[in-house]
Structures are given as structure tokens and as C-alpha cells.
Chains A and B, each alone.
Chain A
Amino acid sequence: MSAGYDTQRVTTADNVGINFRVAGLATRFAAALLDGLLLLILLFVATVLIGAIADALAGTTTGNSADEILSLAGLLLAACLVLIAILSFTIAQAVSGGRTPGKAAMGLRVIRIDGGTANLGAYFLRSAAYIPDLLLALGPILMFFHPQSRRLGDLLAGTVVVRERTPVTLQAATAPSPVYLRSSDPGPVIDGLGNLGERELNAVRTFLSRPGLLPGQRAELAGRLAGPLLERMHLAFGAPERLWPPELFLERLYLQLAARLQPGDGAGVLPPPPYGGIAGRPPWAP
């Protein structure tokens, strides 16, 4: 099920693997701290409420039984604090589908190790297991050594806490890669553009979007790409385009073909990068 450190590998019914990114000890601790602060407010309210009730009851009687009421209230309070903590964590997870307020703030979610949403029993186990995990300090030790950062409660409930946020948005992932051109001048009109389509445009764009090629490699690749393109364009034998340097030919071809096939789509064209057309790499670098 699991694949290496910090990922939880889950296979869907169609046998596609999904890698969940497991939340680490520090993030989990921060989330628990936030949840703990909220819980503290809840416990404070409960304490005040029970104290007020016990006080009112004790005021109606005198002597020995007043003492007994107060000791009963102490018993009630001690039991309430533990049970309120367990119940509130259970309910918070159940209502939010595994995202307590603290976890939601940190972008975490509790999931089953098979990738599904956990059920009420699992949430109760995770919450009740705070007793050994926190009071006996087993949780942090176990999380430190466990490849998926699971504490006892996670092991018992068959759950794992994953990070839901991703740095990649759809827009960023599907944006066309930037094209590096030495000049944005399309040059004289090239004949035979009608013989070329999207396929050829994509090929030229892929070539022009590679920033890391050495000058020699780039010229050689350009020559090998330009040859078949010139063939497909059915240019006359003595056409001037055949005499252009292949890199210049491809750049001009790209500008004209893009304007023809995708009018108004000028995005992604970068000004010529420094160092003779190779982005980020000085000419003296190997």
C-alpha cells in the first residue's frame, strides 16, 4: 500500500495509483496546537458551567451534604474534561470529513489508508487514542520513526493524515511553456505556410521552448528540424528561406505560423534571453 517515505500509495478501482503526500510531525503538531486551543475554550466553558451548577446546588443545602455535592461535582468535572475532549475531536472530524479546524487551517485531512473517508468508529479510536499518544507520549515518538508519520491512534483506526494543498494549479500546469526568441520580428512573408498545421507548429514550439541547449547542439537540432519542414512546404528550389540559417528560419516560421493558426494568442513569447539565446547559462559554462 505504501510507497516509501512521506507518501501513501493508493490504487483506485481502475488500478491507477494515487500518491498521497503524508503530513509530517511538525505540521501535525501545529494543527494539534490550534485544535487544542479551541478545545481549551470548550473546556473552560464546561468548567464554569459545572462549577456554577454545583455552587447553586450546594447553596440550597447545608453542612455535610454540601461538601458531598462539591466532591460529586469534582468527579463530574474530571470525567467531563476527558470525555468532552474525545467527543469533540470525534464529532469535529466526523462533521468535516476528517478536517478539524486545526487540520483545515494547515491543509491536512484524515483519510483511511486505502484512500477513502474514515468512519465514525475510526474517528473515535483516533480521538480516544490521544490518551496513550499524549499522556504516555507514545504518539510523537512513533510519528518520528514511522515512514507515514502515524501515531497509535492512526494505526488503530487504519488512518493516515495527508496534505491536501498542492503548489500546482491547473492554469500553471497547462500553461504553454515559454518560447525563447532572439527577435520578435517575423521577417519577410514565407511561402507555403498553408501546407503546415498544428502538428508542425507544436514541433517548432517544443524546439524553441528549450532553454538549456548549447549553441552547437541548438544549431544542429534546428537544421534537422528545418529540413523536413522545408520539404513539406514545397518551396521552390531557389527560395530564399532555404538559405536562411535554420535557427532564424524556425523562429520566423514560428511567429508567422502562430499568427496564422492561433490569431490573438501571443502569450508565452519571451524576449530574447541573455547569453546568445541560451537562458540562464553563460557562454563559458560547459
Chain B
Amino acid sequence: MNLEAFTAGRQARWAELEARTATLTGSRLRGLRASDVERFAILYRRTASDLAIARRDFPDQPITEYLNSLCGRAHVLLNRGSPPRLRNALRYFATGAPRVFRANAGYFLASLALLLAGTLAGWLAYDLRPDLRGLLVPNSLFAEMAQGSPGIGVPQPFLAAPSIFLHNIEVAVIVFILGICAGLPTAFLIVVQGWSLGTLGAAIHAGGYDYAFWSLIAAHGVLELSVIVTAGAAGLRLGDALLRPGLRSRADSIAHAGGDMVGLAVATMLLLVIAGTLEAFVSPSGMPGAAKIAIGLGVGACFYAWLLLAGRGRPAVPALDLDAAPRPPSTAGVDLAALG
């Protein structure tokens, strides 16, 4: 077969595929009729087999380059997951994220251990080096303790809430994504979180305001720290995927880890909205301390109940009926003969 004969019978098909590709260049196939999608798929597959022939018979001709490019554009459009839907996101939230969390529980424990180690180190540093106390804790704290009211007065909770949760989400994103640098920045940031909690706690303890302080931060702190630790766990997983890829290549390994952890990280980050709202409205309010602690523990219990218990049941899979007659693929509206 020479080039003219090869192109003559197929040219119309290629032109049609190119026209359809151009109209679909946006993001979605939605809005197309089923028959349109099927026709697109058939055109794509025939053109792909034309590409195979062209690559064998006319490797250096422009037609091969053209078909390669056309098939590439059609391939990208045709091979895609389902579009983002609220229902899928909710289902992931209800079952997917907890499953991922449990599968990576080791990283969570490691992240939690880093936080506790930082806290302990901060506490010890405050206790063992009295000469450095002025550097470890903001000086305003001592002034507030002298006045008898350690803590933050929040003047504008409606401004404070978004400020707080957006800032915390930013921190969580950074803690998560920097895990790709072998997990070191993530580990450092988690330890720093623990360190500031530890030094603060020790200073408050020395001042004798334990109950006032812990009841002040309990309402939002439990959830907030848990989410940061979870983001840290996701970040540590990325770093571990880079350091110990196992049988995969490193590129495959981190891509796998990234796809696994991004959902969990984002799902938990969204909960920082709740934590930030509590921090702005509940923590500074005149509510009794016991109630704030109860709220904090309750929210924390919900968080861990969600991560540890949700999605444990097996997903229902419809039984496969092997004896049923195979259903031929629908060709409604597709003129197979016209494709030649």
C-alpha cells in the first residue's frame, strides 16, 4: 500500500476526529450525547490503529507525526476519571479517608511521637534552663500572668475565625507538602509545634494557671493539633516514599504516595474550619472551663471515631452472574458502516 492509497480511504475519518477533538478541547465530555461519545471513541480507536500502520509503513512521513499528535489529543480527552462530584467527595469523606488513615496509622503514630517529643523537650528546656526563659516564651505572657489573666482576648470573632482557620490550613498544607523533601521539614515543623506548646505549658505551670490555660486551648486545640499531626503523617508518608521506594521506582513511589495521601490531607484540613470557629467563638467566651474542656474532648472523640471506625464494613459488591448472556456494547446512533 502506498501513501496515497493509505490516506485516501481514511482522510475523512481523521478530519472528523480532529473536528470533534477541537470542540472537546475544554475539560469535559459532559453535554455530549452518548452516541457522540461512542462515535468519538470509535473514531479514536480506528485512528490509533491507523497510527500503528503508519508507524510501520511510513515512519518518516509527516502523516505519522500528524496521526501521533491527533491520537494524543484524543487519548487525553477520552481517558479520564469521573468528573469531581459532591457525592463522590462525601463518600470519600465518609469511608475513603478513614481507610487511608488506618492503612497509614504508623505514620500518624510517628507524627504524634514527634509532637510529644517536641512538647517534652520544650517543657524540659523551660524547666532546666531558667536563664533562657525570656527567649522561650513571649514576654507579654509574664505580664498577663502578673495581671492574673493569661490568654487572648479576641475582639472580632467574625474576623478572627477565618484568620485563624485559613492560617492553620496554610500551615497544614506546608507541613504536608514539604514532606516530599525526605520528610525532614515536616518533622521539623511538627517538633516546633510541640516545642511551643511545651514551653508555653511549662511557663503557665510555673505561674500556676494550669486550669485556666488548658481550658482555654482545649476547645479548639485538640482538633487543631490532631489535624496538624495528621497532615504531618501524610507528609512523612511522602518522605518515606522517596527514601524507601521498595520495588517501585522513586518517581512511581512518590506519585503513588501523593495520590494516596492528598485526599486524607485535604479532608482533614477542612476540619480546621471547625477548629478555627471554636477558637474564635468558644475559647475566648465566658463559658465555664469545664464546658470548654468537654467540648474539646467531644470534638476530639468525634474526630478519632471518624478516622478509626468509619468505613469498616465491606463495600457491597453485586454478585457476578456468570451464566447471564453477555450484553453487546451499545451501538445506538453509531453508523458503523459509514466508518469504513
Contacts and interface: CB of A to CB of B under 8 A. Distances in A.
A138 B177 CA distance: 13
- Helix, strand, loop or mixed for chain A's interface? helix
A117 B159 contact: no
B255 to A, nearest CB: 4
A166 B258 CA distance: 32
Given A115-B75, A136-B181, A164-B73, A14 B48 contact: yes
Cβ-closest 6 pairs across A and B: A116-B79, A158-B255, A97-B27, A65-B155, A166-B69, A79-B166
A129 B177 contact: yes
Interface of A: 10, 12, 14, 16-20, 53-54, 57, 61, 65, 68-69, 72-73, 75-76, 78-80, 82-83, 86, 94-99, 109, 111-117, 119-122, 124-125, 128-129, 131-132, 136, 138, 150, 152, 155-158, 162, 164, 166, 168-170, 172-174, 176, 202, 205-206
B81 interface: yes
B28 interface: yes
A168 B69 contact: yes
Contacts, number: 186
B177 A10 contact: no
Interface stretch (B3-11, B199-207, B303-311): B3-11
B93 interface: no
A202 B159 contact: no
Contacts of B262: 121-122, 124-125
Nearest to B155: A65
Contacts of B174: 131
B169 interface: yes
B48 A202 contact: no
Given A79-B169, A97-B28, A72 B76 contact: no
A169 B66 contact: yes
Contact of A121 (B5, B163, B167, B263): B263
B255 A155 contact: yes
Contact of A83 (B48, B49, B166): B166
A16 B173 contact: no
B5 A202 contact: yes
A22 B251 CA distance: 17
B71 interface: yes
Interface in B250-282: 251, 254-256, 258-259, 262-263, 266
